[in-house]
Amino acid sequence: MSAELWLTQLHENGYRVTAARRAVVETVEKSTRAVTPLEVYDLGRKKYRALGLVTVYRTLEKLEELHLIQRVHQPMGCQAFISMGQGHQHLLLCQNCGQAAFFEGDDLNPLINSIARKTGYQINEHWLQLFGLCANCR
């Protein structure tokens, strides 16, 4: 559904909407877990047979640049992407099946202020990620 929005974003930013990009966008947008370029390639080829792996890399690059997707870091590797959540959200990942859930409501300000005072750092950003087992896998 929102795949169309992504394609609109691409178009509005001067990029052309092609069959290859459709396949990539639809694949990544609908996934509820982080997908690697190779996974996107395999899944995307079911939608568009001629899709090339190189184009997957290039399209993911553009989607990341437009903040439509984000890179997901995990113990097993950091070359996976998932759609960007709405607003200030973080990820909760299933260690067994990879299922991702977004959450919000973390309030790190007290901690951040305290650390800033103690260390003298100016703190600009934070990464927070939770790992566990989803309802199905636990």
Out of DNA, Zn ion, Mn ion, none, what residue 52 binds, judged by CB under 5 to 8 A for its kind, is DNA
Out of Zn ion, a copy of itself, Mn ion, none, what residue 101 binds, judged by CB under 5 to 8 A for its kind, is a copy of itself
The tokens for 138 are 């636990």
Out of Mn ion, a copy of itself, Zn ion, none, what residue 97 binds, judged by CB under 5 to 8 A for its kind, is Zn ion
Q: 18: closest CA among 54, 51, 53, 63?
A: 51
Distance of alpha carbon 138 from alpha carbon 136, whole angstroms: 6
Query: Which CB atom, from 15 or from 102, has the smaller least distance to DNA?
Result: 15
Q: 72: closest CA among 136, 132, 131?
A: 131
Q: Are 82 and 69 in contact (CB under 8 A)?
A: yes
CB of 9 to Mn ion, least distance (A): 24
User: In the stretch 56-85, what mask flags binding to a copy of itself with x, by CB under 8 A?
Assistant: -----------------x----x-------
CB of 30 to Zn ion, least distance (A): 18
Q: Are 82 and 120 in contact (CB under 8 A)?
A: no
What count of other Cβ atoms lies within 10 Å of the Cβ of residue 69?
26
Out of DNA, Zn ion, a copy of itself, none, what residue 59 binds, judged by CB under 5 to 8 A for its kind, is DNA
Query: Which CB atom, from 38 or from 97, has the smaller least distance to DNA?
Result: 38
User: Please, what's the b/e burial string for 6-34 (b: 16 or more CB within 10 A of its CB; e: otherwise)?
Assistant: bbebbeeeebeeeebbbbbbbbbbebebb
Residues that bind a copy of itself (CB under 8 A): 73, 78, 92, 94-95, 101, 103, 105-108, 111-112, 114-116, 118-135, 138
